[in-house]
Amino acid sequence: MGLIKTLVAGVALAASLAAVGPASALVIVKDLTGGTGTGNTFTPTFTLGTLPAEYLFEDKAHCGVVNGCTYDFVFSLAGLGAGDTTTLQVAAQVLIGGHAVAQDISFDMFSGAPGATASLPTDPNFLGASDNTAPTAPVITLNIGDGDYFLQIAASQVAVNGEASSGSLTENIVVVPEPTAWTLMLVGFGATGAAMRRRRYAETSAA
C-alpha cells in the first residue's frame, strides 16, 4: 500500500544564484523547498517539495549569452526505502490578454551537482527526461534512492520566452505494515477461512 503526499507549487518568486559556465549558457541554480535541514532535503518524514516559481528566459537580452539561460533546481533525498519513488512535475504559464495561458515545457533529471556541462542527455549523470504526454504539465517518476539531484530546464525546453514556471516534488513512500498489523491481518484471514469452512460444512450437511 502506498502513501502518497503531494504538494503543488504556487509560490512567490525567489532570488536566484547565477553563475556563467563555459558552455555559453547562464546557469541559474535554486533549491527545491519544503524539505528539512537545509530546506531541500527530502526524507520519509518530509516528502513534499515545491519548485520555486521562476520566469524562464531563452534570449540574449535577459541571459547575456546567445544560448539563453539554463535553470537547475537542486535537492537531496535521504532515508528512503528500496521501493520508494520520487515524482517531479513542472508547469508553465504566460500572461496573454490578462489571462494566464498554459504553455509547453519539458525538463531533464540529473544526479550530483549542477554544472555547465550538465546540459545534455549524454551527460553521465543524466537520469531521464520528463514524460511529455501532457506537454503543459510533464512529469517524471524515478526510483533513485538517497543522494543529490537536480531538475534542469534548458532554454531549448522553454516554449515562450519569459513564461513563468512552477512545480512539485512528491515522495511516494511504500508503507510496510507493523508487526501488530501483520498479526491482525493473519487473524482476519484465519477467521475468514474458518467461516468459509463452516458454511461449506453446513451446505454439505443440508444436502
Q: What ranges do the domains of the chain cover?
A: 2-176, 178-207
* Cell numbers placing 203: 451446505
- Which are the contacts of 89, defined by CB distance < 8 A and separation ≥ 6? 8, 137, 138, 139, 167, 168, 170
Instruction: Summarize pLDDT for 115-130 with one digit per residue, the tens.
Output: 766 667 778 899 999 9
Q: What is the mean pLDDT of residues 201-205?
A: 58
Distances (CA, A) of 81 to 91, 150, 175, 178: 28, 20, 9, 15
Q: What is the CATH number of domain 2-176?
A: 2.60.120.380
Q: What is the mean pLDDT of residues 119-144?
A: 90
pTM of the model: 0.73
Q: Which residue has the higher pLDDT, 201 or 131?
A: 131
